Amino acid sequence: MERIVVLDFGGQYNQLIARRVREAGVYSELLPHTASIQEIQGESLSGIILTGGPDSVYAKGAKACDNGIFSLGVPVLGICYGMQYIAKVFGGRIEAAPVREYGRTPIRMQDHPLLRGLDSGIVWMNHNDSVFAMPDGFSAIAETEHCPFAAFADDARKLYGIQFHAEVAHTPNGALIFRNFLKDICGCACTYSPSGLADMLVAQIRAQVGKDRVLGALSGGVDSSVASVLVHNAIGDRLTCIFVDHGLLRQNEAEEVLGFYRDQLNLNIIHVDARERFLSKLAGVTDPEQKRKIIGTEFVRVFEEEAKKLGGAEWLLQGTIYPDVIESGTQTGATIKSHHNVGGLPKDIGFKGLVEPLRMFFKDEVRALGESLGIAHALVWRQPFPGPGLAIRVLGDITEEKLSILRQSDFILREEIAAAGLAEKVWQYFTVFTGMRSVGVMGDQRTYDYAIGVRAVTSTDAMTVEWAELPYPLLRRISERIIGEVPHVNRVVYDITSKPPGTIEWE
């Protein structure tokens, strides 16, 4: 399989680079800039991309990679910091720009295979430094008013750089640069599709677990469902799935999930009622990071106990996907929030290790893989639901009353979205118990009750999202029903925050 390695220098758009490569039809891996040559070279390496980053390449302690990458015989493309790094390694000069460029910037492009199909126009810039003298053998192929070397190329050594960010939507047709690099420069066939990876993943699972048994953490979402089907296809009855009701599920969640798994997927599944256990541990806890870590720890302890009841299981299966890993913090990226199945896990888990076949996949890729495995469309496109459940949709401490209010309001929202025919057009939608109380008037009497937040977003990968522009009549029905049918709610607000700067969940 053709493979592109994206070396991460800590830039904010780096996960988008990996996505753009996959969208162009080549499998990509995002590795830290400290990765070894052996890890980078791996199998079927077709090219390398160096990402942006916050450092100045000439600063003490600036991030660097093993410069042996330039001797591997594959093309290298540097983006922003990555371009400056290439220039520095080969003898160019990089300095602080007298005029820094941010945002939409006019650019003039030459006719070059890397830029083919892109008209001179607008790109997205975000840099303090610039290349002021190119290394020998390099030629400028694009310029802006304040950046004479906005892109360069050394076709003999197949080294390329762009100062702008082609991976973001703000660079029109920026995806063409990745397509050109992959197809015309790296010589890739561009036939990658996540739906065709099932056999490879099954083989990897068999190689990892051997003849051992696996305990599957099954939440009801598409990620854990697809992961469980893959492992079941790999090792059959040596997989036992555990569905934990932690008291933080949506209305009717347990019944729906168990019906799916037993009737449609024929999985061996054990239902564990751990509601009292989780809620007692969470009593009085208000910090969202602490909530996530408590839930992550308790999940593992439940799985350890269930494994002992079964006579032992050596591996723990999780439906971890790539956005979970990114947000939980990487070697070069900040921790946004600790996902219960990544940063929220305790260090001492009672298993030989984790089986995470989807760890490098985005949500849309997981769905494509799920449909290729024959999983029911309704399950593949089920609303995403976080492992910590309603715990991170109740702001502040958690009580049964708050959970009841949240469940009822969320059920109404899901009913109305479905009735409007938007269930698969809106990426994710849910309500939030804000904990805020406000004055209202109902039945000619003063009220002082809770405000419920409504969140609905559109996305393809959960890494960046836009708030969904729901029709006003639909918003009116949602508000009227929640206020009219849910006790102790007198106000409904709609969240119109994109990601970034917000995240999908409120906690």
| Peptide linkage before 500 cis (omega within 30 of 0) | yes
Is there a catalytic annotation at residue 400? no
Alpha-carbon distance values, 489 to 46, 438, 460 (Å): 57, 9, 33
CB atoms within 10 A of CB 136: 8
Using alpha carbons only, give the angle 217, 282, 338 rounded to the nearest 5 degrees.
Answer: 55
Q: Tell me if 406 sits within 8 A of 433, measured CB to CB.
A: yes
Distance CA 86, CA 70 (A): 9
Is there a catalytic annotation at residue 232? no
Tokens representing residue 381 in the block:
């496109």
Distance CA 389, CA 375 (A): 23
Q: If residue 283 lies in a helix (H) or strand (E), which one and from where to where?
A: none
- Give residue 40's region: left, alpha or beta (phi > 0; psi -120 to 50): alpha
Residue from 2, 23, 101, 167 carrying the catalytic annotation = 167
Query: Phi and psi of 106, rounded to 5°?
Result: -65, 145
Residue from 23, 33, 65, 80 carrying the catalytic annotation = 80
Bridging pattern class, strands 159-162 and 151-154: antiparallel
The DSSP secondary-structure symbol of 465 reads: B
Q: Tell me if 2 sits within 8 A of 192, measured CB to CB.
A: yes
Is there a catalytic annotation at residue 80? yes
Bridging pattern class, strands 151-154 and 214-217: unpaired
DSSP per-residue codes, 231-247 = HHHHHGGGEEEEEEE-S
Residue from 127, 165, 246, 339 carrying the catalytic annotation = 165
Residue owning tokens 């003490």: 60
Residues carrying an active site annotation: 80, 165, 167
